[in-house]
Amino acid sequence: MLQPLLFHGPCKPTTITIELKGIIIAPRVVEDWNFRQNKNNTWIKFSRINGLVIIGGGKVDGQGSDWWTKYPKKSNENNKPTAVRFYNCHNLTLNNLTHIDSPRNHISIDDCKDTSVSNLNITAPKDSPNTDGIDIASSTNVLINNSTMETGDDCIAINNGSSFINISGIFCGPGHGISVGSLGKNKQYAAVEHIHVKNCTFNGTSNGARIKTFMGGSGYARNITYEDIIVVGVKHPVIIDQYYNPRYIDNIEQTVKVSDVTYLNIRGTSLGKNAIELNCDTTIGCTNIVLDNVNITRVDGGEAQTMCTKAQGKRSSCHPDVPCLSQNSSTIRY
């Protein structure tokens, strides 16, 4: 049983390799966790360690069930620890690891540059609260590929300050999809750009390709592409939601600007009636939204529908049709 632990750099070696061959297990009961004073938000933290490589085929078990029982609501999220956090670690590599049952999100990548994540298996029950697979914030040049994520929240969440994030070969489900956001909470400024999600499968998730922002924030989410995506029984396969939490709507005159978003080669089935939802702010709207070669049908055989509010852009070979976007008779050029 491993108590909360901090690895703090900088370190003299240019590369540090950790081979995890066995199982690291967290305390089972909340009361058995011994946090350092005012440091109760992380189980294992790596800070300012450049050239860190973690490999080996081992397992990290957060034993989160007692945390989920004691803090089941979204409002309790900050009371629970992240399992593994990387802060200000450049040239980071994670490969061939299993992460299960974190009290909160399994992996956080914060303020990191040049990160490679591959061949991970992240698992938590679908009803476990806030158990994101990987959360990214204030980081650039992050590559995540060839991994399986089954969680109770976002498989991957791309948050404020992130740019040049490339995600491919992810099997997600159950979970809440691969999300940009949420952005702009508590009227904060947000900046996310150059995000590419490709060759991913969403199976039985509540969302697939999702962008979510709070009203009242500012900044932008732009140059985002979801490409070669398969959705299987997904409740909201394609969704932009600028009203992520309706409690924040009253007397709000600004929001995060969403623009230059492309959905290319999206196919599969929707569990809900709306296969495509572009729920943009009614004042500034979303601009340059492109849907090209999209074919989503309903699981129950009914007619798939769309919902569109204040979205501007183009569509080509799109089913269900999105009439709020201009129609292109030929392939859209990028």
Span 219-269, pLDDT tens digits: 999 999 999 999 999 999 999 999 887 665 555 678 999 999 999 999 999
User: What's the mean pLDDT when you consider all of the chain?
Assistant: 95
Q: HSE-up of 38 (CA within 13 Å, CB side)? A: 0
CATH topology of domain 5-327: Pectate Lyase C-like (2.160.20)
- Mean per-residue pLDDT for 55-76? 93
Domain boundaries, the chain: 5-327
Q: Which of 61, 46, 44, 39 is nearest to 5 (CA)?
A: 44
Stated as kind and residue range, the H or E segment containing 70 is helix 65-70
Q: Which of 236, 242, 250 is nearest to 309 (CA)?
A: 242
Look up residue 230 and give its two tokens. Answer: 């398969």
pLDDT classification of 93: cutoffs 50, 70, 90: very high
More confident residue, 124 or 331: 124
Residue 104 has pLDDT above 80, yes or no: yes
- Taking the C-alpha atoms of residue 15 and residue 11, their distance in angstroms, rounded to an integer, is 9
- Taking the C-alpha atoms of residue 3 and residue 118, their distance in angstroms, rounded to an integer, is 26
- Taking the C-alpha atoms of residue 172 and residue 155, their distance in angstroms, rounded to an integer, is 6
- Mean per-residue pLDDT for 111-119? 99
Active site residue 319: no
Give the pLDDT confidence score for residue 151 in this predicted structure.
Answer: 98
The strands making up 274-279's β-sheet, listed across from edge to edge, are 5-8, 42-47, 82-87, 107-110, 134-137, 156-158, 178-183, 207-213, 236-241, 274-279, 305-309
5-54: pLDDT as tens digits: 999 999 999 999 999 999 999 999 999 999 876 677 999 999 999 999 99
What contacts 31, CB < 8 A, 6 or more positions away?
none
Give the pLDDT confidence score for residue 249 in this predicted structure.
Answer: 58
Cβ atoms within 10 Å of 78's Cβ, excluding its own: 11
- Express as a percent the part of the chain with pLDDT over 70: 96
Catalytic residue among 90, 99, 106, 176: 176
Give the pLDDT confidence score for residue 38 in this predicted structure.
Answer: 62
171-203: pLDDT as tens digits: 999 999 999 999 999 899 999 999 999 999 999
pTM value surpassing 0.85 = yes
Give the pLDDT confidence score for residue 78 in this predicted structure.
Answer: 83
First to last CA, the chain: 52
Question: Using omega within 30 degrees of 0 as the cis cutoff, is the peptide bond preceding 320 cis?
Answer: yes
- Taking the C-alpha atoms of residue 246 and residue 20, their distance in angstroms, rounded to an integer, is 44
Q: DSSP states of 186-226 as a string? A: GG-EEEEEEEEEEEEEEES-SEEEEEEE-BT-EEEEEEEEE
Give the pLDDT confidence score for residue 76 in this predicted structure.
Answer: 77
